[in-house]
Amino acid sequence: MNSGDSPQLAPISSHAAPDIGPGRTSLFEFDLASLTAEIEAMGLPRRTAPQLLKWIYEKGVTDFDRMSDLSKDARAQVAARFSTLQGTVIRHQVATDDTQKLLIEWAAADEIPPETALRLAGTATERQTETVLIPTEDRRTACVSSQIGCPVGCKFCASGLGGLDGNLTAGRIVEQIWRLGRLPGVGRVSNVVFMGMGEPLANFNNVTQAIRTLNAEWGLGIGARKITVSTVGLPPAIRKLCTFDIPVTLALSLHAPFDELRRQIIPWAEYSTIHELLDACQEWFVKTGREITLEYILLGGVNDRREHAEELARLARTMRANVNLIRYNEVAGVPYARPKHDDVHHFQEVLRAKHVNVHIRASRGRDIAAACGQLRHESRPAT
């Protein structure tokens, strides 16, 4: 397929329709302990809770009438108290490299119980997120969103063009991975990266609750080290994550080795210096024993020169870190250019010469705007 051809539009699975209603809470919002407490309060057998979770996460069933090991009366009570899917897939695209992207519209605040409501303005374009499935020969990686929009406002990223419209609940984060795993031919999601829309550590409680479900045996059973949380840099939140009992991987979106340049392309860089960020990351290594991944988007003619590479190498060598180089992916209306091929490889060579473990990350899904930095409210016009 030529780059100018339209990407394939895949059909939307009919079994994954939304299930919302007043007074009901999605089962995706519960862990085993909290669901068991709810079930017992309803007067149902304790075993009902793990049965429900097995139907959803192991068997992929969200229709209560199909949960055959529950009595007819139990199914009726459960259906009256709980819901399942909260979103509607309004677009499903498949790229030429088999990357898949879903645009999901979430239920409005007045359509769900208050305890799981989002702080939304209520219009359709303000309750949409995108999530991406990146397949390779040996893994299926879900790139998941944690917020609707993004508060950080990186100048090169589409996700923050419209600002922040709200946090996603834990259940809505989990539902994204659940839906990706049920796309035709995908099978089990093996890896999750919190690199979609939003700043994960600005939605700390919901993100960590979602991680528990992703990792749990009763949930999606994804290994802790196969879950990556990427942050633009919130030192107090990084230090808080140091105490999180599930050993996830941490990635820092650095994108510039000098504070002045970083503030020009990342507005939130006003609130913490590179030194403060790396100090928090060093604490992460000391407390967890796990190295940091430094993410670095190369913007043509902006942060891809030799002096940038040399300083990035110096910073990386102050701690246990590896570096991922990411070519800028084009965003309509954003005045940056994709770096030249030779410039990218020269940048990598400078880091390698200084003994930094560095890789160039492939851009996946560019023809459907699913690559790093391209996720956005699709129905919003570019600004």
Q: Judge whether residue 15 has pLDDT over 80.
A: no
CB 311 within 8 A of CB 333: no
Give pLDDT, residue 115: 45
Give the largest Cα separation in the chain, rounded.
69
**pLDDT single digits (tens) 281-320:** 999 999 999 999 999 999 999 999 999 999 999 999 999 9
For tokens 């749990």, the residue is 216
Considering the domain architecture, whether residues 52 and 104 belong to the same structural domain is answered as no
Considering the domain architecture, whether residues 140 and 50 belong to the same structural domain is answered as no
Nearest to 118 by CA among 110, 127, 126, 109: 109
Considering the domain architecture, whether residues 41 and 96 belong to the same structural domain is answered as no
Give pLDDT, residue 362: 85
In a domain, residue 320? The reply is yes
Amino acid at 19: D
**pLDDT single digits (tens) 65-113:** 999 999 999 999 999 999 999 999 999 999 998 999 999 999 775 444 4
Nearest to 287 by CA among 243, 240, 338, 327: 243
Considering the domain architecture, whether residues 78 and 209 belong to the same structural domain is answered as no
In a domain, residue 375? The reply is no
| Domain end marker among 84, 103, 134 | 84
**Burial class (CB within 10 angstroms; exposed 0-12, middle 13-18, buried 19+) of 111:** middle
Considering the domain architecture, whether residues 120 and 32 belong to the same structural domain is answered as no
- 176: domain CATH number is 3.20.20.70
Give pLDDT, residue 375: 59
Nearest to 88 by CA among 108, 68, 71: 108
CB 235 within 8 A of CB 271: no
In a domain, residue 296? The reply is yes
- Of 143 and 4, the one with more pLDDT: 143
In a domain, residue 214? The reply is yes
- Of 349 and 15, the one with more pLDDT: 349
In a domain, residue 290? The reply is yes
Considering the domain architecture, whether residues 35 and 101 belong to the same structural domain is answered as no
Considering the domain architecture, whether residues 142 and 250 belong to the same structural domain is answered as yes
Distance CA 339, CA 297 (A): 10
For tokens 């024993």, the residue is 289
How many residues comprise the chain? 383
Q: Model confidence at 371, in pLDDT bands (50, 70, 90)?
A: low
**Burial class (CB within 10 angstroms; exposed 0-12, middle 13-18, buried 19+) of 248:** buried
DSSP 12: P
| Domain end marker among 43, 65, 84 | 84
Report how far Cα 183 is from the mean position of its chain's Cα atoms: 17
Instruction: Mark whether 372 is an active-site residue.
Output: yes
70 φ, ψ (degrees, to nearest 5) = -100, 145
Instruction: Mark whether 260 is an active-site residue.
Output: no
Give pLDDT, residue 132: 93
Domain extent, residue 212, equals 91-368
| Domain end marker among 84, 108, 126 | 84
**Average pLDDT estimate for 366-371:** 63
Q: How many domains does the chain have?
A: 2
Considering the domain architecture, whether residues 66 and 117 belong to the same structural domain is answered as no
- The active-site residue out of 105, 130, 175, 295 is 130
Nearest to 248 by CA among 258, 260, 240: 240
SS3 of residue 250 by DSSP: strand
**pLDDT single digits (tens) 205-245:** 999 999 999 999 999 999 999 999 999 989 999 999 999 99
**pLDDT single digits (tens) 277-288:** 999 999 999 999
Considering the domain architecture, whether residues 134 and 223 belong to the same structural domain is answered as yes
Distance CA 51, CA 54 (A): 5
CA–CA–CA angle 230, 234, 238 (5° rounding): 70
Give pLDDT, residue 28: 97
Across 89-93, 99-103, 347-351, 368-372, which has the greatest mean pLDDT? 347-351
Distance CA 177, CA 158 (A): 21
- 69: domain CATH number is 1.10.150.530
CB 337 within 8 A of CB 299: yes
Please state, in angstroms and as integers, the Cα–Cα distance from residue 131 to each residue in 128, 141, 193, 240, 335, following that order.
10, 11, 10, 26, 25
Per-residue DSSP letters for 278-316?
Answer: HHHHHHHHHHH--PEEEEEEE-TTTS-SHHHHHHHHHHH
**Average pLDDT estimate for 24-41:** 96
Considering the domain architecture, whether residues 173 and 35 belong to the same structural domain is answered as no
Distance CA 350, CA 371 (A): 25
Considering the domain architecture, whether residues 184 and 167 belong to the same structural domain is answered as yes
In a domain, residue 104? The reply is yes
CA–CA–CA angle 268, 270, 276 (5° rounding): 95
Both ends of the chain: CA-CA distance in Å? 29
In a domain, residue 1? The reply is no
In a domain, residue 333? The reply is yes
Considering the domain architecture, whether residues 334 and 260 belong to the same structural domain is answered as yes
**pLDDT single digits (tens) 121-168:** 333 345 889 999 999 989 999 999 999 988 888 888 877 777 888 999
What string of H, E and C letters represents the secondary structure of 183-199? CCCCCCCCEEEECCCCC
Phi-psi region of 10 (alpha: psi -120 to 50; beta: other; left: phi over 0): beta
- The active-site residue out of 143, 150, 281, 372 is 372
CB 134 within 8 A of CB 364: yes
On average, the pLDDT of the chain sits at: 87
